[in-house]
Homo-oligomer: A and B are copies of this chain.
Amino acid sequence: MSFAETQLKNLQTPALVLDEAKMMRNIQRLAKQVDGLGVSLRPHLKTVKSTEISRRLLTDGSGPATVSTLIEAEVFAEAGVKDIIYAVGITPQKLDRVAAIRSKGCDLAVVLDSVAQAHAVADASARLGLAIPALIELDCDGHRSGVVPGDPVLLEIGRVLHDGASELRGVLTHAGESYEIQGRHGHEIFTEQERDAAVQSANALQDAGMPCPVVSVGSTPTAHSARKLDGVTEVRAGVYAFFDLVQAGIGVCDLDDIALSVLTTVLGHQHQKGWIIVDSGWMALSQDRGTANQRIDQGYGVVCDEAGQMIPDLIVIKANQEHGIIARRPGSEGKLPALPLGTRLRILPNHACAMAAQFTEYNVIPADHEADLCVWPRFGGW
C-alpha cells in the first residue's frame, strides 16, 4: 500500500479516487498503439474534465484534443490547448461562443451533418469575419448522428462549407455501437467500418474537388483493436484513460486496469437479506448500468477493499440517492465477508465518464508511492 493509500482513511465519503499509476499505464498503452499506426491521437477530454489530467493525456499539453461541451473547449483553451474538435453537432445558437474561443488563439473546429448546419456555420463565419472550420460527421454504424456513407448530401454539405466563408476541415466518425460488442474480433469489424466510412467519404469530397485534410475516427474499443488505418489521419478515444467495467466486460481492458473508484463507508446491514449498506448511492456512483446486458452484470459497481483489491463476487445490487446496497452477485456461492460499521470500501464504475461527473474533485493516489494523496479539481456544466 502506498503512503497516499493510507491517507484515504482521512477522507469524508463518498469520495472519488483516482489511481495515477494505473491511469498513466492506460495512457501509455494507447499512445503506443496509435503511434504504431502512424496516425495522431486526439484524446477526448469529456471523460476527465481536468487540466491536471489533460496535461498527462496530451503530448505537450497543447493538443490535439476532442471535447463534448463548449465549457470544456473554454477551460482547455484557457489552459493552453491549441487544437480542439467540439464533437457534438453544432447548433446555430452556439456559434458565437465558438468564435470567441477561436479568436483567443485556439483552433476550435465544429462537427455537423446537415446542409442547414453548414449554412449556419458559413453564415456565422461571414457575419463574424472569421472562418469557422467544420468536419462532416458520418454515421458508420447507425449509432446516432451523421451522414450515411454514400449519401450525396455529403457533397452538398461540403460545397456549402467550402464555397462559403467557413472552412471544410474534414470528416469524422465514431463507432458508438462497438461498446455493445464483446471481443477483439468484433471491435476489428467496427474499426474497419469506421475507417471505410471515413476514407470513402474523404475520397468523395476530394474527387469533387474539395479539400479533406482531417480524416478522424475512433472510440476506445476500435482504437485499441486497430491494426492498420490507411487513409485515416487521427484517432479519438476518451474513456481509455480511466477504463471501467463496461470496457472490461467487452474485453478492452482488465478489471485491474480500472483507475477510478468511489471510496465509501459501511453504514449498516440487513443481515437476514445478506445486504451491506454503504453511503454511496446513485448520487455518487451514477445510475449508469452499462453492464446490465453484458455477460456479467456488475450491478452499480464491483466492490473492492480500501486498498483497491477486489472482493470476489461482491457488487452493488441496488442504489438509492445516497444509499448503496452491496450483496453477493446473484448465483454466486460463499459467505458474505464481515464488513462492520465504518469499514471503507471502493466501488469500480460501470462507466467512468458517468461516475466522474458526479464529483467536483479527484482524490489522487500519486504514482510515486511515497507521495501524499492530492486533490485535482474537476469541472462540469456546459
Q: Which residues of chain A have a CB within 8 Å of any CB of chain B? A: 12-15, 46, 68-70, 88-94, 97, 112-114, 116-117, 120, 139, 144-145, 176, 265-270, 277, 279, 282-284, 286-289, 320-323, 325, 340-342, 353-354, 357-360, 380-382
Contact A277 B322 (CB under 8 A): no
| Inter-chain contacts of A12 with B (CB < 8 A) | 70, 93-94, 97, 382
A138 to B297, CA, bound (A): 31
A341 to B115, CA, bound (A): 10
Which residue of B15, B68, B145, B341 is within 8 Å of A114 (Cβ)?
A: B341
Contact B93 A342 (CB under 8 A): yes
Q: Is the interface of A mostly helix, strand, loop or mixed?
A: loop
Contact B267 A88 (CB under 8 A): yes
| Inter-chain contacts of A323 with B (CB < 8 A) | 88-89, 144-145
Contact A89 B13 (CB under 8 A): no
| Inter-chain contacts of A69 with B (CB < 8 A) | 322
A358 to B359, CA, bound (A): 11
Given contacts A89-B279, A114-B341, A116-B341, 16 further A-B contacts (CB under 8 A): A12-B70, A46-B322, A68-B322, A90-B267, A91-B265, A91-B279, A92-B342, A93-B265, A113-B268, A114-B269, A117-B268, A144-B277, A176-B320, A282-B354, A283-B357, A287-B354
Contact B341 A91 (CB under 8 A): yes
Using known A-B contacts A267-B91, A287-B288, A354-B282, determine if residue A145 contacts B113 with beta carbons closer than 8 Å: no
List the 10 closest pairs (A to B, CB-CB), nearest first.
A287-B287, A89-B267, A116-B341, A91-B265, A68-B322, A89-B268, A88-B322, A92-B342, A91-B267, A145-B268
| Inter-chain contacts of A360 with B (CB < 8 A) | 380-381
A177 to B196, CA, bound (A): 51
| Inter-chain contacts of A269 with B (CB < 8 A) | 114
| Inter-chain contacts of A91 with B (CB < 8 A) | 13, 265-267, 279, 341-342
| Inter-chain contacts of A117 with B (CB < 8 A) | 267-268, 341
- Chain B: which residue is nearest A318 at the CB level? B144
A334 to B89, CA, bound (A): 27
| Inter-chain contacts of A89 with B (CB < 8 A) | 267-268, 277, 279, 323
A289 to B288, CA, bound (A): 10
15 A-B pairs in the complex with CB atoms less than 8 angstroms apart? A12-B97, A12-B382, A68-B322, A88-B323, A89-B279, A89-B323, A117-B268, A120-B342, A139-B270, A144-B325, A145-B268, A145-B277, A145-B323, A282-B354, A287-B288
